[in-house]
Chain A
Amino acid sequence: MAGVRIQHPIQRNVRFTVSDPNIPMNPPYQCTPPEFGGCGQVHLFKTHHLNLDETGSVIVGDVLYEKIKGYLFAFGFVETNAVANPPTMGIGLGPRSQGGQWGNIPIIRAEGD
């Protein structure tokens, strides 16, 4: 088993965040801005972002699922089925915002520079 599909009874097409109060982030984590797909919030505790689809479902890796399922159940999630071959995910080092949004950091994030 590689992944576990879970489903929320009500929420649909939303990003659902579940924080673990036992894992403080030191220093706090500034989440990726919404324009890059993050939530843009500052997280004081370890936070898991669950992008629920139109059926309220999302696939979570089995190891992570075992760690956080207590929180998931508390929020109403139910386990629906195991997923042997979850879809590929991606990280993209995208365009850099001009104008110093990222400070004086010379890491390329855009076409040209």
Chain B
Amino acid sequence: MANSFFNSFLNGILGSHATRVDLDADTIKMYLHDSGAGGTPTAATNDFYNDLSAGLVGTAYTLAAKTIGTAGVGVFDNTTDPAPAFSSVSGATVEALVFFKDTGTPATSDLICFFDTATGLPLTPNGGDVNVTFNASGIFKV
């Protein structure tokens, strides 16, 4: 596979349905995903967090320093690299880092994008913390 947006997120931006994700105002989280338990993230068919939630390893991290357009036009970023993003991770091996909007209800929490190709992935947890370093150019660009 490759890093990708979920199709439903992109289609939402284009107006195929009411825009459901406000990256600035909504609670945006990322989590470590076990594809063996939750299935491999699939851009074309996964739309809400409940499609993948069985693969959650540890606890999702809430992005607390979001920016839009600051790192570049159309760029979503988080100005700090969470350290640690995930504490004392000791679950299954992780194949992907998944971003989603958390509404509190998995069936209405829109999936945004996933990274399954990045330094450190796949990650075999050692029981310690896991830091995430975002690229200097931002997390993603639309």
Contacts and interface: CB of A to CB of B under 8 A. Distances in A.
Interface of A: 1-4, 20, 23, 25-33, 36-38, 46-50, 58-64, 67, 83, 85-96, 102-103, 105-113
Interface in B1-30: 1-5
Interface of B: 1-5, 35-37, 39-40, 42, 72, 75, 83-84, 88-93, 95, 97, 113, 115-142
Contact of B113 (A49, A62, A107): A107
Contacts of A113: 72, 137, 141
A9 to B, nearest CB: 20
Give the secondary structure class of B's interface: loop
24 contacts: A2-B128, A4-B127, A28-B40, A29-B116, A38-B122, A48-B93, A61-B125, A67-B92, A86-B126, A88-B130, A90-B119, A90-B131, A90-B133, A91-B130, A94-B119, A95-B135, A102-B2, A103-B2, A105-B2, A107-B140, A108-B141, A109-B135, A112-B137, A113-B141
B88 A2 contact: yes
B137 A108 contact: yes
Contact of B120 (A29, A37, A83): A37
- 6 closest A-B pairs (Cβ-Cβ)? A3-B127, A61-B90, A2-B127, A86-B128, A92-B119, A46-B36
A110 to B, nearest CB: 7
